């Protein structure tokens, strides 16, 4: 389940056409390898543990994950190719979708909100 959640979180960094939102700026690894490593780091963070214990007390968590994942990928040698406005819009959509979903299991709630945000981005970019 961890890998699934991590891969879905990584999906937030893709544009609607499936093109990476990053270009290689010096990483020796593939974007997928670096993304998976970042997702694993986030999964093992204290913030993730706290969120799992009480998701309703941490509505900012999905936005934090989005920001942390992007920051981690950049530190591994990738450059974002999305504009700040696109990133802000995606971040807001993820937070809004996460807030709409009724409390269920943490993994299900986080996964569904991220999938919905990605689907919304896909519809936006395909127009």
Domain contains 18: no
Does this model's pTM top 0.85? My answer is no
Domain contains 31: yes
Query: 42: alpha, beta or left, given left = phi > 0 and alpha = psi -120 to 50?
Result: alpha
Domain contains 116: yes
Q: What mean pLDDT value characterizes the chain? A: 74
Q: Three-state SS for 1?
A: coil
Confirm if 114 and 11 have CB atoms less than 8 A apart.
yes
Q: Three-state SS for 120?
A: helix
Domain contains 127: no
Determine the structural domain holding residue 113 and report its residue range.
Answer: 2-13+23-122
Domain contains 102: yes
Taking residues 83-90, what's their average pLDDT? 78
Question: What φ, ψ does residue 99 adopt, rounded to 5°?
Answer: -70, -25
Band (96; pLDDT cuts 50, 70, 90): confident
Q: Three-state SS for 43?
A: helix
pLDDT at residue 6 in the model: 45
């Amino acid at each position: 389940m961890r890998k699934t959640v991590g891969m879905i979180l990584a999906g937030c960094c893709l544009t609607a056409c499936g093109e990476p939102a990053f270009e290689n700026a010096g990483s020796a690894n593939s974007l997928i390898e670096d993304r998976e490593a970042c997702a694993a780091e986030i999964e093992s963070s204290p913030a993730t543990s706290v969120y799992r214990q009480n998701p309703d007390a941490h509505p900012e968590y999905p936005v934090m994950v989005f920001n942390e994942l992007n920051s981690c990928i950049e530190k591994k040698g990738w450059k974002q190719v999305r504009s700040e406005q696109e990133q802000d819009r995606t971040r807001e959509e993820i937070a809004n979708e996460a807030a709409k979903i009724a409390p269920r299991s943490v993994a299900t709630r986080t996964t569904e909100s991220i999938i919905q945000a990605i689907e919304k981005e896909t519809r936006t970019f395909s127009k």
